[in-house]
């Protein structure tokens, strides 16, 4: 392949964060409280309208690891396997799917790059036909989350991972494309020759205008199963850990915003 197109996941490919959709199934499974579900709903709204800056994302990382510590991996997988078919349909922007298809038609590889866990990103990537995924990795010991994050794929870490993958694949980054909604992904966007802001937060929009980057608006969520077959339940179960991490993160975001009055 001569080059690649790198896509962020939430609010770039997916119309909303999957965290809120997972919060109630995890509550039903006894992993989080009703209070956390309500905070997730508030944080989901704040995330959609405002995004998150670097300080919020660092606090989010810390809270994610604390909340998930000790969770049984199989329990999380079982919950997701029972509920994911309701969660993923619909999730993706039609414009994102069409853009990925166009890049593949031009001979480019499609790579999803996300701060979400590999357990959620890899199955979604496979479902969408992505060639590779770059995502956060959680530590697991004796079937439970240790509370540590082995690799947090965020900000500059995304750019580093992109450069390393490009070197292994022989891609010229000047010929590559990247798409994201968040100001925290500026390093990822600057790593390629063709950066694009998609549904950008205000800071990324300002930067994109200054740099004369294209600004795209995706606003047509499409039922995923109408574009590609939904995988079997065993495959869906593999999405579990990333969903668990996301729920914890959105709980923390809601709590922080309530405390600060933002």
| Residue 238 burial (CB count, 10 A) | 19
SS3 sequence of the chain: CCCEEEECCECCCECCCCHHHHHHHHHHCCCCCHHHHHHHHHHHHHHHHHCCCHHHHHHHHHHHHHHHCCCEHHHHHHHHHHHHHHHCCCCEEHHHHHHHHHHHHCCCEEEEEEEEEHHHHHHHHHHHCCCEEEEEEEEEECCEEEEEEEECCCCHHHHHHHHHHHHHHCCCHHHCEEEECCHHHHHHHHCCCEEEEECCCHHHHHHHHHHCCCEECCCCEECHHHHCCCCCHHHHHCCHHHHHHHHHHHHHHHHHHHHHCC
Residue 10 bears catalytic tag = yes
For residues 192 and 179, give the distance between their C-alpha atoms in angstroms, rounded to a whole number. 10
For residues 97 and 95, give the distance between their C-alpha atoms in angstroms, rounded to a whole number. 5
Bridge partners, 197 (sequence order): 180, 215
Give me the catalytic one of 10, 181, 185, 201.
Answer: 10
Residue 8 bears catalytic tag = yes
Give me the catalytic one of 8, 181, 185, 201.
Answer: 8
Residue 142 gets the label, from left (phi > 0), alpha (psi -120 to 50) or beta, of: left
Q: Which residues are catalytic?
A: 8, 10
């Amino acid at each position: 392949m001569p080059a690649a197109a790198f896509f962020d996941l939430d609010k770039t490919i997916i119309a909303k964060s999957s965290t809120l959709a997972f919060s109630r199934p995890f509550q039903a499974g006894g992993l989080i409280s009703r209070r956390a579900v309500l905070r997730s709903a508030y944080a989901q709204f704040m995330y959609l309208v405002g995004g998150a800056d670097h300080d919020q994302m660092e606090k989010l990382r810390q809270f994610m690891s604390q909340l998930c510590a000790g969770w049984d991996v199989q329990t999380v997988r079982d919950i997701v396997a029972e509920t994911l078919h309701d969660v993923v349909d619909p999730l993706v922007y039609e414009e994102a799917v069409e853009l990925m298809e166009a890049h593949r038609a031009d001979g480019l590889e499609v790579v999803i790059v996300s701060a979400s866990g590999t357990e959620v990103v890899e199955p979604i990537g496979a479902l969408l036909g992505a060639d590779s995924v770059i995502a956060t990795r959680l530590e697991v010991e004796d079937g439970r989350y240790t509370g540590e994050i082995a690799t947090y794929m965020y900000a500059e870490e995304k750019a580093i991972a992109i450069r390393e993958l490009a070197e292994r694949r022989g891609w010229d980054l000047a010929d590559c494309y990247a798409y994201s909604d968040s100001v925290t992904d500026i390093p990822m966007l600057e790593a390629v020759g063709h950066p694009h802001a998609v549904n950008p937060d205000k800071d990324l929009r300002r930067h994109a205008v200054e740099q004369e980057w294209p600004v795209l608006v995706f606003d047509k969520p499409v039922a995923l199963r109408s574009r590609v077959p939904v995988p079997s339940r065993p495959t869906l179960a593999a999405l579990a850990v990333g969903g668990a991490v996301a729920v914890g993160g959105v709980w923390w975001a809601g709590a922080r915003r309530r405390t600060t009055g933002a």
